[in-house]
Structure 1
Amino acid sequence: MQDTAFSLADKRVIVTGAGQGIGRAIATAIVQLGGKVVAVDLNAESLEALQDELGTGRCAVLAGSVSDPAVAGRAVEIGVAAFGGVNGLVNNAGVTRTAMIEKMSLDAWQQVIDVHLSGSFYFLQSLGRHLLERTKAGEKVSGSIVNISSDAGRRGTIGQINYGAAKAGVLGLTMCAAREWAKYDIRVNTIGFGVVETPMTETIRGEKFRDTYLQQIPLGRWGEAEEVARPVCFLLSDAAAYVTGQHLSVNGGYTIGL
């Protein structure tokens, strides 16, 4: 008998930062497992290319910044119009603005906080409101939210205090929302990525830092976008129906501990 718990056939998921890299891989994996996605990204052209690849019946798109609260609400509206509702979210969108602490501008600090922390809150809140409204209207609904964090939020980083602080804050979002919404069958978890081969990690993977980082990864290699997308799909699926408030590290063993 085939186990359908890992299927995403009944999942309609908003994915932020879906235009490239990990976000694109996550959106693609969701559709391959039978789900539907509302893909959000700043780059309208990349979204159009993704929609052409996945099909309009499986992928709706929205170009905009996650730092704008109105975009979060619009994403839910698009999901309702296109698919009849939304019951999943992956808060993946991200930016980096690198500088040592004493040299970091307030603008660089705020940009990263706005995207990673505030943006994640806006989308989490919007989906939560949508699911709670349906529950109070008498529907039996469930939901799964996956917030993307980073090793930087668990063990710190050099030259990115804004990013590390934001990603640590995402862990707090997860724990608070998981406690508040468990009674409504809304699960909230975090996945923390290590170094994945995407444009955002080009500097770390470059000649200057490559060996230093690789020596700390027991698996001895960088992650690939397609393989790190799979644990996200697990948490979205019914196979993770009893998992909430957890932080899963997907980093080749870069962090190991209880």
Structure 2
Amino acid sequence: MQDKTSLAGRVIMITGAGQGIGRALAECAAGKGARVALVDINQQLLSETVELIGEERARAYVGDISDDVFVGNTVNNIVDDFGDLHGLINNAGIVRAAMVHKMTLAQWQQVIDVNLTGAFICLQAVGKYLIHKANSGDPNPGSIVNVSSDAGRRGTVGQINYGAAKSGVLGLTMSAAREWGVYNINVNSVCFGMVETAMTETVRQEKFREKYLQQIPLGRFSTPDDVAPATCMLLSDMANYITGQHLSISGGFHIGA
């Protein structure tokens, strides 16, 4: 019986692939048979991810996803290097924490530039290529998964910039799904809760730990390996009739319509 979760023969672009969730996504996609084009601003960390997966399946593209010229050139380079592109996991993100009344405009803008504008730039660049494939006769040009957050669905303390950006990513997902359905391009988002990465280290400290754990029905923080498989599933044939949806992979941190 055919494995509908397989990504064999596909080329997947993954942003923020140098560490944490991005690295787990890269390993998961490669483990399902994909070749992976890995993007990150940190060359050393990105090289480590490529080494883990192997140069026969992974290549590194170092740069800033909020730079539209870099992203456009990168998509072209991926197609030249691999021969095609079938999917994007729009994962790159940063945090600049501060309470609302103390947040500087620079802290606000840095997070919006990467987490929202950068996500749009990558979505647009990959979408243009997938539309070209569709217009050239490809009936299944590809899929996009945007990484949002439960913070974008329920709010967050000390990170209004992050919550606003991740809410915006949900809007990117729904609008692109409506526009691109005619091309059979699937666009979905995933919403993680509290994943054990460097970005959540502060809120997982003893001072806040129990408060957050009490809000998670499964009673534990997730790991990057917990969230990667379901994310990759949305790029596979398993999800070929799913678009415009937001999948929370958070142990029940968010439960609702």
The answer, yes or no, to whether TM exceeds 0.5 is yes
Q: Quote the Cα distance in structure 1 between the aligned partners of 2:183 and 2:136.
A: 13
Residue 200 of structure 2 aligns with which residue?
Answer: 201
Counterpart check, 1:167 vs 2:166: yes
Report if the CA contact (8 A) 2:64-2:70 is conserved.
yes
Tell me the equivalent position of 2:103: 104
If the length of structure 1 is used for normalisation, what is the TM-score?
0.97
2:85 partner amino acid: V
1:99-248 correspondence to structure 2 within 5 Å: 99-248=98-247
CA RMSD of aligned residues (A): 1.0
Confirm or deny: 8 A CA contact 2:139 2:184 kept in the other structure: no
Determine if the alignment matches structure 1 residue 35 to structure 2 residue 4.
no
8 Å Cα contact 1:192-1:248 kept in structure 2: yes
Q: Do 1:9 and 1:35's aligned partners in 2 also have CA atoms closer than 8 Å?
A: yes
Partners of 1:38 and 1:75 within 8 A in 2: no
Tell me the secondary structure at the aligned position of residue 95 of structure 2. Answer: coil
Q: How far does the alpha carbon of each residue in 1:88-129 deviate from its partner, in whole angstroms, 9 at most, with x for none?
A: 001111100111111111110000000010001000000111
Distance 1:211 1:134 in 2: 49
Displaced runs of 4 or more, over 6 A:
none
Distance in 2 (CA, whole Å) between partners of 1:224 and 1:143 is: 27
Q: Which runs of 5 or more structure 2 residues have no equivalent in the other structure?
A: none
Measure, in 1, the Cα distance between the counterparts of 2:81 and 2:27. Answer: 17
- The alpha-carbon deviation at position 138 of structure 1 amounts to 3.2
Amino acid at match of 2:28: A
Are the equivalent residues in 2 in contact too, given 1:12–1:86 (CA < 8 A)? yes
Partner of 1:58: 57
* Distance across 2 between alignment mates of 1:155 and 1:243: 23
Structure 2: distance between partners of 1:122 and 1:78: 16
CA distance in 2, matches of 1:22, 1:168: 19
The residue identity in structure 2 corresponding to 1:22 is I
In structure 2, distance between residues paired with 1:200 and 1:27: 18
**1:91 match:** 90
SS across alignment from 1:66: coil
**What letter matches 2:224 in structure 1?**
A
CA–CA distance in 1 between the matches of 2:51 and 2:215?
A: 39
Structure 1 portions without partners, runs of 5+? none
Residue 57 to residue 81, structure 1, CA distance change in 2 (3 Å) = farther
Aligned-residue identity in percent: 54
Offset of residue 156 of structure 1: 0.4
1:34 aligned partner, one-letter code: G
Aligned counterpart, 1:67: 66
Contact conserved, 1:131 with 1:141, CA < 8 A, in 2?
no
8 A contact 1:14–1:75 mirrored in 2: no
